Amino acid sequence: MEPDSAAAAFRHAVAGLEAGQEEQRLARPELSFEDEPPPRRLAPYAAAIAATVLDGENEIAWGKFVLLFDPAGQDGWAGQYRIIAYVRAELDPEIAADPLVARVGWSWLTEALEARAPDYAQTSGTVTRVVTEGFGAKQDEAASTGFELRASWSPAARAHGTPSLSGHVAAWCDALCSAAGLPPAEPGVATLRPRRQQP
Protein backbone atom coordinates (compact mmCIF):
# COMPACT_ATOMS: atom_id res chain seq x y z
CA MET A 1 0.00 0.00 0.00
CA GLU A 2 1.35 3.44 -0.95
CA PRO A 3 2.00 5.87 1.93
CA ASP A 4 -0.74 8.27 0.77
CA SER A 5 -3.25 5.41 0.52
CA ALA A 6 -2.22 4.08 3.93
CA ALA A 7 -2.62 7.51 5.54
CA ALA A 8 -6.05 7.94 3.93
CA ALA A 9 -7.14 4.48 5.10
CA PHE A 10 -6.05 5.26 8.64
CA ARG A 11 -7.83 8.63 8.64
CA HIS A 12 -11.00 6.79 7.58
CA ALA A 13 -10.55 4.31 10.43
CA VAL A 14 -9.96 7.12 12.94
CA ALA A 15 -13.15 8.82 11.74
CA GLY A 16 -14.98 5.58 12.57
CA LEU A 17 -13.32 5.50 16.00
CA GLU A 18 -14.43 9.07 16.68
CA ALA A 19 -17.97 8.29 15.52
CA GLY A 20 -18.10 5.31 17.87
CA GLN A 21 -16.84 7.47 20.71
CA GLU A 22 -19.55 10.04 20.04
CA GLU A 23 -22.24 7.33 20.01
CA GLN A 24 -21.05 6.16 23.43
CA ARG A 25 -20.86 9.71 24.76
CA LEU A 26 -24.57 10.04 23.99
CA ALA A 27 -25.53 6.55 25.18
CA ARG A 28 -23.45 6.54 28.38
CA PRO A 29 -23.57 9.94 30.12
CA GLU A 30 -21.53 8.52 33.01
CA LEU A 31 -18.53 8.23 30.68
CA SER A 32 -16.10 11.10 30.23
CA PHE A 33 -13.81 10.81 27.18
CA GLU A 34 -10.51 12.44 26.34
CA ASP A 35 -7.81 12.06 23.71
CA GLU A 36 -4.79 10.06 24.76
CA PRO A 37 -1.27 10.14 23.25
CA PRO A 38 -0.95 7.00 21.10
CA PRO A 39 1.98 4.60 21.43
CA ARG A 40 4.71 5.39 18.90
CA ARG A 41 6.56 2.10 18.48
CA LEU A 42 3.85 -0.53 18.06
CA ALA A 43 2.76 0.31 14.53
CA PRO A 44 3.32 2.95 11.83
CA TYR A 45 -0.10 4.48 12.59
CA ALA A 46 -1.84 4.72 15.96
CA ALA A 47 -4.63 6.61 17.69
CA ALA A 48 -5.88 6.40 21.27
CA ILE A 49 -8.70 7.59 23.49
CA ALA A 50 -9.32 7.28 27.23
CA ALA A 51 -12.55 7.10 29.19
CA THR A 52 -13.38 7.59 32.85
CA VAL A 53 -16.51 6.27 34.56
CA LEU A 54 -17.80 8.84 37.02
CA ASP A 55 -20.10 8.37 40.01
CA GLY A 56 -20.91 11.98 40.76
CA GLU A 57 -17.44 13.50 41.04
CA ASN A 58 -15.75 10.20 41.93
CA GLU A 59 -13.76 8.28 39.34
CA ILE A 60 -14.73 4.61 39.73
CA ALA A 61 -13.13 3.13 36.62
CA TRP A 62 -10.77 4.13 33.82
CA GLY A 63 -9.91 2.70 30.45
CA LYS A 64 -7.90 3.20 27.29
CA PHE A 65 -8.62 2.18 23.68
CA VAL A 66 -5.78 2.11 21.15
CA LEU A 67 -6.16 1.59 17.40
CA LEU A 68 -3.07 0.36 15.54
CA PHE A 69 -2.62 0.17 11.77
CA ASP A 70 0.25 -1.44 9.91
CA PRO A 71 -0.27 -1.74 6.12
CA ALA A 72 2.07 -4.75 6.12
CA GLY A 73 0.31 -6.45 9.03
CA GLN A 74 2.19 -8.01 11.94
CA ASP A 75 2.67 -11.46 13.44
CA GLY A 76 -0.34 -12.35 15.57
CA TRP A 77 -2.64 -9.89 13.81
CA ALA A 78 -5.51 -11.06 11.64
CA GLY A 79 -5.14 -8.23 9.13
CA GLN A 80 -3.73 -4.71 9.12
CA TYR A 81 -5.53 -3.39 12.22
CA ARG A 82 -5.19 -4.23 15.90
CA ILE A 83 -7.06 -2.90 18.92
CA ILE A 84 -5.54 -2.72 22.40
CA ALA A 85 -7.88 -2.09 25.32
CA TYR A 86 -7.26 -1.47 29.00
CA VAL A 87 -9.78 -1.39 31.86
CA ARG A 88 -9.09 -0.57 35.52
CA ALA A 89 -11.54 -0.43 38.45
CA GLU A 90 -11.51 -0.81 42.22
CA LEU A 91 -13.33 -3.78 43.73
CA ASP A 92 -14.44 -4.75 47.22
CA PRO A 93 -11.74 -6.95 48.81
CA GLU A 94 -14.11 -9.93 49.13
CA ILE A 95 -14.98 -9.73 45.43
CA ALA A 96 -11.33 -9.37 44.46
CA ALA A 97 -10.57 -12.50 46.51
CA ASP A 98 -13.08 -14.57 44.53
CA PRO A 99 -11.09 -17.05 42.39
CA LEU A 100 -13.59 -16.59 39.54
CA VAL A 101 -13.24 -12.81 39.31
CA ALA A 102 -10.64 -13.01 36.53
CA ARG A 103 -12.83 -15.32 34.43
CA VAL A 104 -15.87 -13.10 35.00
CA GLY A 105 -13.83 -10.00 34.17
CA TRP A 106 -12.64 -11.50 30.90
CA SER A 107 -16.23 -12.42 30.03
CA TRP A 108 -17.22 -8.75 30.32
CA LEU A 109 -15.12 -8.09 27.24
CA THR A 110 -15.78 -11.24 25.23
CA GLU A 111 -19.55 -11.12 25.76
CA ALA A 112 -19.57 -7.44 24.83
CA LEU A 113 -17.59 -8.18 21.66
CA GLU A 114 -19.95 -11.00 20.71
CA ALA A 115 -22.92 -8.67 21.16
CA ARG A 116 -21.45 -5.54 19.60
CA ALA A 117 -18.73 -6.56 17.13
CA PRO A 118 -18.74 -10.30 16.42
CA ASP A 119 -16.40 -9.79 13.45
CA TYR A 120 -13.22 -9.93 15.55
CA ALA A 121 -10.30 -12.37 15.72
CA GLN A 122 -7.08 -13.24 17.55
CA THR A 123 -8.23 -12.19 21.03
CA SER A 124 -5.49 -12.08 23.64
CA GLY A 125 -5.21 -10.63 27.12
CA THR A 126 -4.77 -10.81 30.86
CA VAL A 127 -6.82 -10.04 33.96
CA THR A 128 -4.97 -8.97 37.10
CA ARG A 129 -6.13 -8.46 40.65
CA VAL A 130 -4.10 -5.72 42.33
CA VAL A 131 -3.69 -5.02 46.05
CA THR A 132 -2.25 -1.60 46.90
CA GLU A 133 -0.86 -0.96 50.40
CA GLY A 134 0.67 2.23 51.75
CA PHE A 135 4.00 2.51 53.57
CA GLY A 136 5.93 5.32 55.23
CA ALA A 137 3.89 8.53 55.05
CA LYS A 138 1.06 6.55 53.44
CA GLN A 139 0.97 3.71 55.98
CA ASP A 140 -2.33 4.91 57.50
CA GLU A 141 -4.15 4.74 54.17
CA ALA A 142 -6.49 1.80 53.76
CA ALA A 143 -5.38 -0.93 51.38
CA SER A 144 -7.26 -0.97 48.08
CA THR A 145 -8.00 -3.83 45.73
CA GLY A 146 -8.37 -3.38 42.03
CA PHE A 147 -9.14 -5.11 38.78
CA GLU A 148 -7.13 -4.60 35.59
CA LEU A 149 -7.90 -6.05 32.18
CA ARG A 150 -5.50 -5.77 29.25
CA ALA A 151 -6.66 -7.15 25.93
CA SER A 152 -6.04 -6.97 22.22
CA TRP A 153 -7.94 -8.22 19.20
CA SER A 154 -8.18 -7.69 15.45
CA PRO A 155 -11.28 -6.13 13.88
CA ALA A 156 -12.38 -7.60 10.56
CA ALA A 157 -11.93 -5.31 7.57
CA ARG A 158 -14.89 -4.49 5.35
CA ALA A 159 -14.86 -4.76 1.56
CA HIS A 160 -12.88 -1.50 1.12
CA GLY A 161 -10.33 -2.56 3.75
CA THR A 162 -11.26 -0.34 6.71
CA PRO A 163 -12.97 -1.94 9.73
CA SER A 164 -16.17 -0.58 11.24
CA LEU A 165 -15.06 0.47 14.71
CA SER A 166 -18.22 1.71 16.42
CA GLY A 167 -19.10 -1.78 17.72
CA HIS A 168 -15.57 -2.28 19.05
CA VAL A 169 -15.67 1.03 20.92
CA ALA A 170 -19.09 0.07 22.31
CA ALA A 171 -17.79 -3.32 23.48
CA TRP A 172 -14.86 -1.66 25.27
CA CYS A 173 -17.24 0.82 26.93
CA ASP A 174 -19.56 -2.02 27.97
CA ALA A 175 -16.64 -3.87 29.60
CA LEU A 176 -15.50 -0.68 31.32
CA CYS A 177 -18.96 0.02 32.69
CA SER A 178 -19.36 -3.60 33.83
CA ALA A 179 -16.08 -3.33 35.74
CA ALA A 180 -17.42 -0.15 37.35
CA GLY A 181 -20.51 -2.06 38.52
CA LEU A 182 -22.98 -0.27 36.27
CA PRO A 183 -25.98 -2.14 34.85
CA PRO A 184 -25.15 -3.89 31.57
CA ALA A 185 -26.19 -2.25 28.35
CA GLU A 186 -26.97 -5.68 26.90
CA PRO A 187 -28.83 -8.51 28.65
CA GLY A 188 -26.76 -11.41 29.87
CA VAL A 189 -23.55 -9.51 30.76
CA ALA A 190 -22.61 -10.12 34.40
CA THR A 191 -21.48 -7.23 36.61
CA LEU A 192 -19.73 -6.98 39.96
CA ARG A 193 -20.05 -4.03 42.30
CA PRO A 194 -16.87 -1.97 42.65
CA ARG A 195 -15.32 -0.79 45.89
CA ARG A 196 -16.93 2.56 46.62
CA GLN A 197 -14.96 5.64 47.53
CA GLN A 198 -14.94 6.44 51.24
CA PRO A 199 -16.55 9.80 52.10
- pLDDT tens for each residue of 58-86: 888 999 999 999 998 899 898 899 999 99
Label residue 184 by pLDDT band (50, 70, 90): low
Q: Residue 184 class from Cβ within 10 Å (0-12 exposed, 13-18 middle, 19+ buried)?
A: middle
Calculate the CA 8 to chain-centre distance.
Answer: 25
The pLDDT value recorded for residue 14 is: 94
Q: What percent of the chain has pLDDT over 70?
A: 87
pLDDT number for residue 195 = 47
pLDDT band at 2 (very low <50, low <70, confident <90, very high): low
- Helices 101-116 + 166-179 axis angle, to 10: 150
Q: Which residues of 73-108 are buried (b: 16+ CB within 10 A; e: fewer)?
A: eeeebbbbbbbbbbbbbbbeeebbeeeebbebbbbb
User: What pLDDT band is residue 181 in, cutting at 50, 70 and 90?
Assistant: confident
Cα separation, 46 vs 40, whole angstroms: 7
Summarised one tens digit per residue, pLDDT across range 92-113 is 777 777 778 889 899 999 999 9
